[in-house]
Structures are given as C-alpha cells and as structure tokens.
Amino acid sequence: MSRKVSGYLISPEALHERVKELAEEIRRDYTGRSPVFVGVLKGSFIFLADLVRHLGDLDVRIDFLAVSSYGMATESSGEVQILKDVTIPVEGEDVLLVEDIVDTGLTLKYLWDLFQQRHPRSLRICVLLDKKERRVVEVPVHYVGFEIPDRFVVGYGLDWAERYRHLPGIAFVEEEE
C-alpha cells in the first residue's frame, strides 16, 4: 500500500484570495489595537506568513507555539503537549491563535483553556481549514478560511508524516495498492 497526492481541493489561487479576505476582516476587527498573533507550529507556518502580509499598517506582533498531538499518525490521539511556548507575555494582550486546521477540536480547546488562564485582554481563534463533522469538543473559532470534508489533506503547511507541507495548495492524500 502506498499513498499518492491527488489534485488540489483548494488551489493556490483560491488560498491566496481567501487568506487576503480573512486578513482584511481581521485588520478591521483589530483596528487601533496591537494584537499578538500566535502561530501554532508546525502546520500554521505558511498560513500565518501569508496572512500577516495582508495586514497593512496593523501594529501586529508575532509569536509561535509548538504543540504535538498527532505524532506520526494521521489520527488525533487527543494528547496535547507544549513543545515550545510563546515568548511574548500575553497577559492584557489581544491574542489571536492561528491554526492550519481544526479537526476534533482537542488541540485548540487545550490551547484556548491554557491561554484564558493567562488573562489576555481578548482571545480569538483563526483557522484556515475546518473539518466540522469531526468535532468532538466545542471550541470557539472566530475566523475560518474554508470548511472541508472529512478527508485527509496535505499542503500549505499541512503534512502527512512530515511530508507535503511545501505544496502551494491543499490536496487530498489517497491510498493505492
């Protein structure tokens, strides 16, 4: 059994357009504020990088958090570990958590609770992809790029066993004999 990446579910052009729209919405919402964007590694690295380049003169600060939940498998274990924490103190700040995908919601629920305990001024979540039908815990997601079906996807930061993150669009992975 091997795996192959088939055609794009979301093309690079469609990603570009939607990310730009999201950035404009976020820029409007945070006008006059100095938010701290927290990219959740590794999956969010391309999305965050593209998103912040459409923020114009918004006084944004950027930090990263590394978590591990899936390991090398394709299913969520529900076990969330902080591998690297943020370095910007978030107390009293407007914090936006930026993720590539929300699936079961376990990762973001854990991070939501963790960041609430740090007493930010406000806390919001932005995800590029939402696999809504897979949700097992409620988590407030304020900005969503695309809702997608329950299929394994890679590209634009998302991996399969650490591969395919570099693809410029979002693609399905299919198993073949």
Return the residues of window 147-176 that contact ligand PRP according to CB under 6 A: 159
Return the residues of window 34-93 that contact ligand PRP according to CB under 6 A: 40-43, 67, 69-70, 76
Q: How far is the CB of 19 from ligand PRP (least distance, A)?
A: 16
Q: 138, 166 in Cβ contact below 8 A?
A: no
Please say if 150 is a catalytic residue.
Answer: no
What is d(CA 110, CA 125) in angstroms, rounded to the nearest whole number?
Answer: 12
Residue of 100, 103, 130, 159 with catalytic role = 103
Q: How far is the CB of 33 from ligand PRP (least distance, A)?
A: 25
Q: Does 11 bind ligand PRP (CB under 6 A)?
A: no
Greatest pairwise CA separation for the chain in angstroms: 56
CA-wise closest residue to 11 among 162, 143, 160, 172: 172
CA-wise closest residue to 40 among 103, 93, 83, 89: 83
Cβ-based nearer residue to ligand PRP, 58 or 127: 127
- The tokens for 34 are 């100095």
Q: How far is the CB of 2 from ligand PRP (least distance, A)?
A: 20
Three-state DSSP class for residue 83: strand
Q: 54, 30 in Cβ contact below 8 A?
A: no
Cβ-based nearer residue to ligand PRP, 58 or 154: 154
Q: Which residues contact ligand PRP by CB under 6 A?
A: 40-43, 67, 69-70, 76, 99-108, 159
Residues with a catalytic annotation lie at 103
